[in-house]
Structure 1
Amino acid sequence: MCEDLSVDWDALHKLVEWHIAQGTHGIVAVGTTGESATLNVDEHIAVVKKVVEQVEGRVPVIAGTGANSTSEALELTEKAKGVGADACLLVTPYYNKPSQEGLYLHHKYIAERVDIAQLLYNVPGRTAVDMSADTVIRLAKIDNIVGIKEATGDISRVQAIKSQVDDQFVLISGDDETALDFMQAGGHGVISVTANVAPAAVAKICELIQQGKVEEAQIINQQLLPVHKNLFLEANPIPVKWALAEMGLIGHAIRLPLTPLAEQYHQALRDALKAASIEVVPA
């Protein structure tokens, strides 16, 4: 955000180019880290459109289009398709606490009405609802529901889902601390918070796991562990946006109800970044 709390288009442009140069395999536009929850619908779609136009097919662009209202999620998904997103990421409806049948019908409704690849997103720590493996397996039978971002940190879910779906169904971790174990168990990658500050390292871990070079991946992951942990000293995206500002990549502005990282956490996060050889601007 700019100091006047408008969208900082210049910073967005620089971040996208930096990620591509660093080897990031795909861009999630308007995920949690992108302050999706503080943007209005017009801003939301404008960000997706800007990223799609800038990327120009160099990597896939996944648009965050989930909402706790099925009609709003449908609208966002339709509009993201309209501006050229490659796929959409739809979080389980938060606050409403729907049943498993409600989750199934919500995602089915959107998938049947918008012909774009869709990833489910299960993050009960933020939404207060946990999509079961059985519900994921049911939804995986719908052609354009192509995978899930699973952020429970429960590694047993990888095989519980993987054993019952087609090989093409993609399982993506949404939890940095357990992502390496998730991939070793058969997952295909991670949509990462840590990758916002260490994109090359996270991309390399994914590549090494795919190549079967587990020990090399573990070495890099060990260096990143302090970052994995300390990026959640307060709710995401507060710490990661503060870290990016310390790296000189964005400004410090953030929209309410989010607030700047509390000063008591500054040194711990600086130390974590330093331990991972991530450079910050001198104070």
Structure 2
Amino acid sequence: MIKWEGVMPAVTTKFTNDDTLDLAMFEKNIKAQIDAGVHGIILGGTLGEASTLEQDEKETLIKKSLELTDGKIPVIMNVAEQSTKGAIGAAQQAEKVGANGLMLLPPMRYKSTDYETVAYFKAVANSTTLPIMLYNNPVDYKIEVTLDMMEELLECDNIQAIKESTRDITNVIRIQNKFGDRIKVFTGVDTLGLESLVIGAVGWVAGLVCAYPAETVAIYELVKAGRIDEALKIYRWFMPLLELDISPQLVQNIKLAEVATGIGTENVRAPRLPLQGAERERVLKVIGTAMKNRPELPEYKNINSVV
């Protein structure tokens, strides 16, 4: 069982200078996420450079995350494959290694029809007992999970949540109006995080949380407590950083931010390369300005605890 709510970072994968997994820095980052109060860890997403990871590396990351979280929060593995067979294999292997849940993308590279997309999702869901969060991002992946498609997909009991990244936040309300609590809606776009939470999203699959876990969780907890003005103050400061997430170079951007906060390195895996030239200077300026004006956070960790 996963409690589908709260801030779940789509964590970056840390690499050494020799292009192997940097488990020491990975551990430092995950510990910072846990200390800040995140509600789950998502591995191997776009930010995690999933398409460049080998199967044994994915298994290593799952095992290390399970060790660090120690059962306190769920470890969720992303599944993004080109074939249904490959996705089923990846889901089953993640379950075997011990992952607590899955985030499931539509087929990669091929723009499947609605019928094919539903068949793909159902085949994967029916191949595992793990709870699943669907990832709905037609902007980047050109495939939208519509309400009609969701209705079919919810025949699978283990499809329980959706990462809503259409950029149309009213979709949060549409999904909840149609399905109630049957499917838990997370926002998946950093620059729409606060707004989506205010109108009813139960959680936030976040990117800049990788570098700024406390600020991200504080916004969530303050919104949940109805302290919108305090959350908005942090969010206004955060927005120039959050805009670094909606870029093809989001991995490089966020890894630069992790360097600034001391919980990451700039190493990426080719074909990605560190930012160069004017774009690098622009991103460093955004990060530098934010670091100079980093807000003092209110005590947020226990404000929603039931006494």
Q: Describe the SS at the equivalent of 1:85.
A: coil
Cα gap change, 1:220 to 1:104, in 2 (>3 Å): same
Cα distance in 2 for residues equivalent to 1:209 and 1:168: 22
Q: Distance in 2 between matches of 1:269 and 1:277?
A: 12
Residue of structure 2 in register with 1:213 after alignment:
227
Instruction: Quote how far apart the aligned CAs of 1:168 are.
Output: 4.2
Aligned to 1:249: 263
Question: Which whole-Å CA distance do the structure 1 matches of 2:232 and 2:154 have between them?
Answer: 31
Partner of 1:25: 39
Report the CA distance between 1:269 and its aligned residue. 2.3
Q: Which deviates more from structure 2 when the two are superposed, residues 232-241 or residues 14-23?
A: 232-241
Residue 52 of structure 2 is aligned to residue 38 of structure 1: yes
> 1:279: how far off?
9.4
d(CA) in 2 for partners of 1:62 and 1:22? Answer: 18
Q: Shift of residue 21 of structure 1?
A: 1.0
Match of 1:108 among 122, 132, 135: 122
Partner of 1:238: 252
CA distance in 2, matches of 1:223, 1:247: 16
Mark the runs of 5 or more structure 2 residues left unpaired by the alignment.
Answer: 1-14, 295-307
Match of 1:177 in 2: 191
Q: Give the number of the structure with larger relative contact order, counting CA–CA contacts within 8 Å between residues 6 or more apart.
A: 2
- Partner in structure 2 of residue 143 of structure 1: 157
Residue of structure 1 in register with 2:177 after alignment: 163
1:15 matched to which residue of 2?
Answer: 29
What is the CA-CA distance between 1:132 and the residue it aligns to?
1.7
TM-score, normalised to structure 1's length?
0.92
Distance 1:129 1:100, change over 3 A: same
Residue 2 of structure 1 contacts residue 8 of structure 1 at CA under 8 Å; is this kept in 2? yes
1:248 Cα offset (Å)? 3.5
Give 1:46 shift. Answer: 1.8
Once the 2 structures are TM-superposed, how far is the Cα of residue 233 of structure 1 from its aligned partner?
A: 4.9
Letter in structure 2 aligned against 1:173: T
Deviates more, 1:146-155 or 1:242-251: 242-251
Which deviates more, 137-146 or 270-279?
Answer: 270-279
* Structure-to-structure mapping, 1:51-62, within 5 angstroms: 51-62=65-76
Q: What is the CA–CA distance in structure 2 between the aligned matches of 1:10 and 1:63, rounded to whole Å?
A: 20
Separation of aligned partners in 1, 2:25 and 2:140: 27
User: Which residue of structure 1 aligns with residue 243 of structure 2?
Assistant: 229
Letter in 2 for 1:222: R
Distance (Å, rounded) in 2 between the aligned partners of 1:212 and 1:24:
19
- CA RMSD of superposed structures (Å): 1.9
**SS state at 1:47 partner:** helix
Residues 26, 62 of structure 1: 8 Å contact kept: yes
Secondary structure in structure 1 of the residue aligned to 2:249: coil
- 8 A Cα contact 2:244 2:250, kept in partner: no
Normalised to the residue count of structure 2, the TM-score between the two structures is 0.85
Deviation at 1:49, TM superposition (A): 1.8
5+ residue gaps in structure 1?
A: none
Mapped partners of 2:92, 2:217: distance in 1: 30
Identity, in percent, stands at 27
Corresponding residue for residue 61 of structure 2:
47
Aligned residues: 280
Q: Which residue of 1 aligns with 2:82?
A: 68
Contact 2:256 2:284 in 1 (8 A): no
Change beyond 3 A, Cα 1:181–1:141: farther
Contact 1:94 1:129 (8 Å CA) reproduced? no
Partner SS state of residue 190, structure 1: strand
**Residue deviations 1:44-71, cap 9 Å, x none?**
1221122112211121111112322111
